[in-house]
């Protein structure tokens, strides 16, 4: 017997999965018509603005807490979770923003503690009996039990349980779907990510009322796995609209004359101090300001999140939007990328720390490229999205990157005729990259085809938004070779598994199907070539000296960039106007 479980564990697990899928279905039906990336982000940001997080004694405190909190307004949801240290939290969502103001105005600081009196939506609930709340009728249900939407919402299905459910699937394609369903980010995890962003935004709202902290990366691009890191970009001016341009009153501001990069580094130092010194829950703040994209890393104790905060431009957000849109085009894409990421992690191709190995982001790009090249492509070249853009899709970052592409994929002139099962697609992915000529060819998702490699990088993936950059520049020759070995192994294993699954009856006790792909590299069929150097990272290799030199020497670049952004915007707008007239 591979795994044994008592009936009660099974029941709990199945209940949990059922409960979550009901929530997901409900959520997806709530936002179905708002499936555009911007709407999704706005929906989640608004939800976070109407939410507070309260530390409680235990899950049982929720009736008391909801009773107390409902005197500030209608509550529309409560989500409980417990962390490893046995601390318990309930996230409360109010119907209106006014309630948040009331609830926070009513809260007080613990005068006996030396704590810094920071104002944030993170609170704790005093023990019963100290403050008595009025029993007020709750919005959805007079029975308070009805309001707790999720109990223990950060529960991650144990690896062994995921495996057991994979083994009880019908066929290899169902195994891939099961893996996706069980491991993708859930509703509460997304809420906590947007709350973390809100907390940072609030902390600087005095001087920067228009500041936005925007989640990007796998937290929002549809490829996020439970427990994935949160990537955040903080922009001081994101909400500044050009509509006020005619106002005769202009804000006094400090001149920003030094080069943009060193200015951003200084601002980031200051922000990292605010996070570290003032914001509850934020701990282990580290600054990595010399990197090509300077970041602040920290851990959020109360929200259970590892966060990477940048203050660079919006290109990461637009890239996430692009991946989100591509993932929306066909229901198989996200499941396929999930299984590829899981496989790469299991065989040790990816690694949580940065280094010379392939990243999840590069893997997703490889999968996208494969889906553009498969017989009867599932995805169009990104150039088609660029060409199909409308005037509402114009986006230019502050540093002049043109991130204009069609946002509404439903009007894209592209339909796939590919009816392949997920299992076939996964096998074809492995076969495709077993044969790909990484030595001479670069991957262009824009063109949807291979192009001549512009330099000697081991793997060259053209960044679709910044075509002069290689997304996989960090990958060493050794890691590229390991990737080729592992895809060959995987193709061989999966081919056999698909054949066997057709003929033999499936077992829930013996490994079969994709479960056989998730073996550590020690167990793989072909051993990597040990001729290569060990996989040690040298810190200097994490930084892009060349780029740094370039930026530092361009003292007045930001002025030129501002000019070119303006010209680009004007040209694009003109182009769309001309197209529109000629269409008539």
User: What are the backbone angles phi and psi of residue 38, rounded to the nearest 5°?
Assistant: -60, -40
- Give the residue among 269, 361, 369 at the shortest CA–CA distance from 320: 361
The full 3-state SS of 307-361, as one line of letters, equals EEEECCCCHHHHHHHHHHHHHHHCHHHHHHHHHHHHHHHHCCCCCCCCCCCCCHH
> Out of 161, 187, 201, 231, which residue is the one contacting Mg ion (CB under 5 A)?
231
| Nearest-CB residue for ligand UTP | 217
Look at the alpha carbons of 53, 56, 60, 61 in this order and tell me if their dihedral is positive or negative. Answer: negative
The listed partner (Mg ion, ligand UTP, none) that binds 324, CB under 5 to 8 Å by sort, is none
Class of residue 75 by CB neighbours under 10 A (exposed 0-12, middle 13-18, buried 19+): buried
Using CA of residue 21, residue 22, residue 23, residue 25, what is the dihedral sign?
Answer: positive
CB of 359: closest distance to Mg ion in angstroms?
9
Contact of residue 275 among ligand UTP, Mg ion, none (CB under 5-8 Å per partner type): none
The number of angstroms, rounded, from the C-alpha of 529 to the middle of its chain's C-alpha atoms is 34
Site for ligand UTP in 350-379 (CB under 6 A): 359-361
Contact of residue 471 among ligand UTP, Mg ion, none (CB under 5-8 Å per partner type): ligand UTP
Residue 55: strand pairing partners: 89, 124
Q: How far is the CB of 318 from ligand UTP (least distance, A)?
A: 8
Closer CB to ligand UTP, residue 217 or residue 380?
217
Stretch that binds Mg ion, among 214-222, 242-250, 299-307, 507-515 (CB under 5 A): 214-222
Interacting stretch for Mg ion, rule CB under 5 A, among 44-52, 69-77, 230-238, 298-306? 230-238
Closest distance to Mg ion from the beta carbon of 365 (Å): 14
Is residue 385 within 8 Å of residue 406, measured between CB atoms? Answer: yes
β pairing state of 212-216 and 148-150: unpaired
Q: How many CB atoms lie within 10 A of CB 376?
A: 9
Number of Cα atoms under 13 Å in the Cβ half of residue 193: 30
Does 431 sit near Mg ion (CB under 5 A)? no
Asked if residues 212 and 202 have their Cβ atoms less than 8 Å apart, the reply is no
* Minimum distance from residue 297 beta carbon to Mg ion (Å): 11
Tokens 């990336």 belong to 37
Under DSSP, is residue 212 helix (H, G, I), strand (E, B) or coil?
A: strand
Residue 361 interacts with, from ligand UTP, Mg ion, none (CB under 5-8 Å by kind): ligand UTP
Closest separation between CB of residue 68 and ligand UTP, Å?
Answer: 37
Phi (first) and psi of residue 222, to 5 degrees: 90, 0
- Residue from 316, 355, 381, 400 that binds ligand UTP (CB under 6 A)? 316
* Residue 189 is a binding residue for ligand UTP (CB under 6 A): no
According to CB under 5 A, which one of 215, 217, 281, 327 is a site residue for Mg ion? Answer: 217
User: Which positions from 212 to 251 touch ligand UTP by CB under 6 A, shown as an x/- string?
Assistant: ----xxx--x------xx-x--------------------
Q: Which is nearer to Mg ion, 272 or 320 (CB)?
A: 320
CA distances 87 to 84, 123, 145, 431, 442, Å, are 7, 13, 21, 47, 49
Q: Does 224 bind Mg ion (CB under 5 A)?
A: no
CB of 310 to ligand UTP, least distance (A): 9
- What is the nearest approach in angstroms of ligand UTP to the Cβ of residue 317? 7
Cβ 253 to ligand UTP, closest distance in Å?
A: 29
319 scored as a contact of ligand UTP (CB under 6 A) = yes
Pick the closer one to ligand UTP by CB: 56 or 307.
307
**Using rule CB under 5 A, residue 229 touches Mg ion:** yes
> What's the min distance (Å) between Cβ of 354 and Mg ion?
11
> Whole-angstrom Cα distance, residue 539 to residue 524?
30
Q: What stretches of 58-186 show up as alpha helix (H) in DSSP? A: 62-69, 97-106, 159-167, 172-183
Cα distance between residue 337 and residue 429, in whole Å = 10
- Which of the residues 452 through 491 are near ligand UTP (CB under 6 A)? 463, 471
* Closer of 93 and 231 to ligand UTP (Cβ): 231
Q: Tokens 């501002």 correspond to what residue?
A: 562
Burial class of residue 306, CB neighbours in 10 A (0-12, 13-18, 19+): middle
The single-letter DSSP state of residue 132 is P
At closest approach, how far in Å is the CB of 444 from ligand UTP?
A: 15
Contact positions vs Mg ion (CB under 5 A): 217-218, 229, 231
Residues that bind ligand UTP (CB under 6 A): 216-218, 221, 228-229, 231, 315-316, 319-320, 359-361, 463, 471
């Amino acid at each position: 017997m591979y795994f044994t479980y008592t009936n009660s564990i099974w029941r709990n697990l199945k209940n949990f999965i059922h409960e979550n899928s009901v929530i997901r279905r409900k959520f997806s039906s709530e936002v179905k018509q708002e499936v555009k990336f911007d709407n999704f982000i706005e929906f989640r940001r608004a939800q976070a603005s109407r939410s507070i997080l309260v530390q409680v004694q235990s899950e049982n405190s929720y009736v008391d807490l909801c009773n107390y909190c409902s005197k500030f307004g209608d509550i529309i949801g409560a989500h409980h979770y417990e962390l490893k240290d046995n601390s318990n939290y309930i996230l409360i969502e109010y119907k209106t923003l006014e309630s948040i103001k009331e609830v926070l105005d009513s809260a007080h600081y613990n005068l006996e503690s030396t704590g810094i009196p920071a104002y944030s939506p993170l609170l704790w609930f005093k023990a019963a009996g100290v403050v008595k709340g009025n029993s007020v009728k709750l919005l959805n249900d007079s029975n308070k039990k009805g309001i707790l939407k999720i109990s223990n919402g950060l529960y991650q299905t144990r690896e062994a349980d995921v495996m057991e459910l994979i083994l009880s699937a019908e066929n290899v394609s169902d195994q891939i779907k099961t893996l996706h369903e069980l491991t993708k980010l859930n509703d509460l995890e997304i809420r906590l990510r947007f709350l973390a962003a809100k907390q940072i935004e609030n902390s600087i709202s005095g001087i920067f009322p228009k500041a936005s902290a925007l989640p990007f990366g796998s937290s929002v691009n549809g490829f996020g796995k439970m427990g994935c890191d949160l990537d955040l970009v903080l922009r001081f001016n994101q909400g500044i609209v050009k509509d006020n341009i005619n106002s005769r009153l202009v804000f006094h501001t400090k001149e920003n004359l030094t080069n943009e990069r060193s200015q951003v580094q200084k601002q980031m130092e200051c922000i990292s101090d605010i996070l570290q010194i003032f914001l509850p829950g934020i701990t282990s703040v580290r600054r990595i300001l010399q990197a090509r994209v300077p970041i602040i890393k920290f851990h959020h104790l109360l929200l259970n999140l590892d966060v990477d905060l940048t203050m660079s431009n919006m290109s990461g957000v637009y890239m996430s939007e692009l991946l989100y849109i591509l993932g929306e085009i066909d229901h198989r894409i996200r499941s396929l990328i999930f299984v590829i990421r899981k496989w790469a992690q299991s065989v040790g191709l990816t690694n949580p720390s940065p280094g010379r190995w392939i990243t999840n982001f590069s893997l997703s790009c490889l999968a996208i490229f494969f889906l553009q090249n498969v017989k009867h492509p599932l995805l169009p070249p990104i150039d088609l999205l660029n060409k199909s853009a409308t005037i509402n899709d114009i986006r230019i970052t502050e540093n002049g990157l043109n991130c204009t592409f069609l946002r509404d994929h439903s009007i894209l002139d592209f339909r796939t005729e590919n009816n392949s099962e997920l299992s076939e697609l996964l096998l074809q992915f492995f076969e495709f990259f077993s044969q790909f000529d990484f030595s001479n060819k670069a991957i262009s998702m824009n063109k949807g085809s291979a192009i001549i490699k512009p330099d000697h990088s081991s793997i060259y993936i053209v960044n679709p938004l910044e075509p002069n950059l290689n997304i996989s520049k960090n990958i060493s020759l050794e890691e590229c070779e390991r990737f080729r070995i592992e895809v060959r192994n995987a193709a061989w294993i999966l081919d056999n598994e698909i054949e066997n699954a057709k003929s033999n009856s499936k077992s829930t006790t013996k490994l079969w199907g994709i479960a056989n792909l998730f073996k550590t590299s020690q167990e793989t069929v072909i051993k990597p070539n040990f001729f290569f150097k060990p996989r040690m990272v040298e810190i200097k290799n994490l930084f892009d000296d060349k780029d740094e030199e370039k930026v530092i020497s361009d003292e007045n670049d930001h002025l030129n960039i501002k000019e070119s952004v303006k010209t680009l915007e004007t040209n694009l707008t003109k182009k769309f106007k001309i197209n529109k007239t000629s269409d008539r």
